[in-house]
Structure 1
Amino acid sequence: METRSNHVLVGAVVLILLAMLALFTVWIARLGGTAEKEYDIFFRQSVDGLARGSQVTYSGVPSGQVKSIALWKNDPQYVRVRISVNDDTPVLDGTTATVIGSFTGTSTVSLDGARKGARPITCPEPPNPNVCPYGVPVIPTKQGGIGAILNSAPQLLERLSTLTERLTGLLTDRNQASIAGILDNTNRLTDALADRGPEIAATLAQTRIAIQQAGEASKQIGDLAQTTNGLLANDVQPTIQNLNGAIASAQQSAETLNAAVNDARPGLQAFSKQTMPEANRLIRDLRTTAAALSAVAEKVDQQGASSLIGAQKLPDYKGK
């Protein structure tokens, strides 16, 4: 009985010593290791190759590991990844997380993008469940190169399929024949241009000469324009001054004539109202007198001068 009691006591002491040794080991490990911080990352993409214990790097430098991976209960489109990084890792505003895959099938979480002088990513006080839903800060995400390609793969395949269909519709037998005809015409045109090479060179040379002559003609026209401007400035200006003087004199004469007309207007009005009617009556009387004199002259011519003093003689009557 006493032997059994001693064995139980020894066993209990051994267990206590083992537990103390384990606690001492953990304490020593914590003293020798560095402190860590935990963050949540919500990926809206596939996290193939990522598992618990996967490496976390910051700008390519190993900085921590993945603690857990699970679908987010609030929205199954997102995958919640809990990571822990060294306390001295600069997880600041502007830091983003990306899943980097590899050809070996393993993936890592890459952090980068921190700016100098930015504040660390922390949870607000008081706690906000919309910002830190699980009590730790959240690092925003961005798509990596492979992830972006994989996410856009369906669109790329659809566009490739559409492009293939359009190319198939374009390269029909009729269109191929048309394209072949265009190529043949192009070849003939190229051959014709090659044959006409000397003529084209001569034409270009003549064109160059014509352009040079046109430049010289333009220069001569410019000189002529300058000469014309000088002539106008030296000869035409005095003529214009004389013309202006003549116009001024003509205007003065016109004004004098207008004044004379205004002065003679009463006499002209009296002449037209009084003298002209009397002259008309005199002309009518003269016409009447002239008619009478014409009648007398005609009578003298026919009957003689005696017709003016005697009666007209009747012809003799003879009986049958």
Structure 2
Amino acid sequence: METRAPYVMIGAFVMISIAAAFLFILWLGQSQREFDEYDIIFTERVSGLSVGAAVRFNGIQKGEVDELSIDPDDPSIVIARVRVDRDTPVKTDTKAELEFVGFTGLAIIQFVGGSANAPLLKDVSDENAPNIRADTSGFAAFLEGSGDVMAQANRLLSDDNINGISGIIANIETMTAVFAENDEEISETLRSINTITSDLAQVTNKLDAAATGLQTFMESDAPATMEEVEALLTESRALMTDLRAITNENRASLRLFADQGLGQVAPALGEARRLLRTLDAMLREIDRDPNAYFFGERAPEYVGEEE
């Protein structure tokens, strides 16, 4: 027994020394690693977020949550102190969001965005841990909006609306039954509508053809016709000008004829009418019995035989 005791003690000492060396190396690595600290300000619940949760920048893990606390001045605000690698480019316009990992209910902090020209937040902030106000996460927004959606759904599915929908369905069933009973009449009506549509299409085609013909006439024949009309109007104007000139030149003769000649025209017309009546009577006599008219002999009258 005395021989084995030193070996047990030596083995225990060696194991403890190895563990101590491993812990020392781990502590040394942690102490030499450089971090930047930021305070993430949440104005919503941070369910699922805990100390040690990952902090990612555009999906790449760059640190972890070091501390969670509640703002003593405003209990609705949660402050998450995070440590991220010093080379993490957290800009003045970088956003922080609470993001859930799968369906486990665990949450992480996600840094998003940041323009290339924006300065680093740690360079322009005087605080040891600059503040970043977190945006509302998509899941939280969904949870907040789901209450309104459920309320609207409840209003939509109220008893009055359900009764109204039932009435609409009943009316649709009644209309369907009526259509089924009058299927032949509806088919005939549809055929009539189809015929009317065909007739309208033919009329439309004819109107299109007429419009095309009118357009062709206006483009080809109308200019020539207008030129002829203009030429006729020009000749008419010239004729009227000549007549006006002749009238002006013979105004005195026309006035003399109107004063004296028209008085002699009426007796002459009377004599002409009497002459025409005489000629008419003479022609009738010649036509009736030319022999008696020219030779003074009357043609014998025919007397039928007595029975």
Same fold (TM over 0.5): yes
Structure-2 change in CA distance of 1:211 and 1:103 (3 Å): same
Secondary structure in structure 2 of the residue aligned to 1:67 = strand
CA contact (8 A) 1:121 1:139 kept: no
Per-residue deviation at 1:42?
1.1
Question: What TM-score results when the alignment is normalised by the length of structure 1?
Answer: 0.58
Deviates more, 1:203-212 or 1:214-223: 203-212
Q: Distance in 2 between matches of 1:178 and 1:24?
A: 83
Output the aligned Cα RMSD: 3.7
Cα gap change, 1:234 to 1:58, in 2 (>3 Å): same
Instruction: In structure 1, give the amino acid aligned to 2:94.
Output: T
In the TM superposition, what is the alpha-carbon distance from 1:86 to its structure 2 partner? 0.8
Is 2:29 the partner of 1:29?
yes
Q: Does 1:232 align with 2:226?
A: yes
Partner residue, 2:78 = 79
SS at match of 1:162: helix
Report Cα offsets for 1:93-119 as digits up to 9, x if no partner: 321111112421211111111222321
Q: CA deviation at 1:212?
A: 2.3
Superposition pairs of residues 9-88 of structure 1, within 5 angstroms: 28-30=28-30, 33-88=32-87
- The answer to whether the Cα contact below 8 Å between 2:179 and 2:186 also exists between their aligned partners in 1 is no
C-alpha distance 27-70 of structure 1, shift in aligned 2 (>3 A): closer
Aligned to 1:118: 118
Structure 2 match to 1:154:
147
Contact in 2 for aligned 1:49/1:106 (Cα 8 Å) = yes
Unaligned runs of 5+ in 1: 1-20, 258-320
2:164 maps to which of 155, 164, 170: 170
Determine the C-alpha separation between the residues in 1 that align with 2:183 and 2:129.
Answer: 74
Give the structure 1 partner of residue 131 of structure 2: 138
Query: Which has the higher Rg, Structure 1 or Structure 2?
Result: 1
Alpha-carbon distance change, 245 to 108 in structure 1, aligned in 2, over 3 angstroms: farther
For residues 265-306 of structure 1, the C-alpha deviation after alignment (integer angstroms, 9 at most, x for no partner) is xxxxxxxxxxxxxxxxxxxxxxxxxxxxxxxxxxxxxxxxxx
Report the 3-state secondary structure (helix = DSSP H, G, I; strand = E; otherwise coil) of the residue aligned with 1:48.
coil
Residues 55, 63 of structure 2: 8 Å contact kept = yes
Question: Of 202, 205, 210, which aligns to 1:209?
Answer: 202
**Is the Cα contact below 8 Å between 1:123 and 1:137 reproduced in 2?**
no
Give the aligned residue type for 1:38. Answer: E
TM-score by length of 2: 0.60
Percent identity of equivalent pairs: 19
Relative to structure 1, is the Cα distance of residues 189 and 75 closer, same or farther in structure 2, using a 3 angstrom cutoff?
A: farther
Q: Secondary structure at the match of 1:155?
A: helix
- Distance, in Å, in 1 between the alignment partners of 2:93 and 2:120 is 9
Where do 5+ consecutive residues of structure 2 fail to align? 1-20, 252-307
One-letter amino acid matched to 1:76: P
For this pair of structures, how many residues does the alignment match?
Answer: 225
Q: Separation in 2 of the partners of 1:225 and 1:113?
A: 68
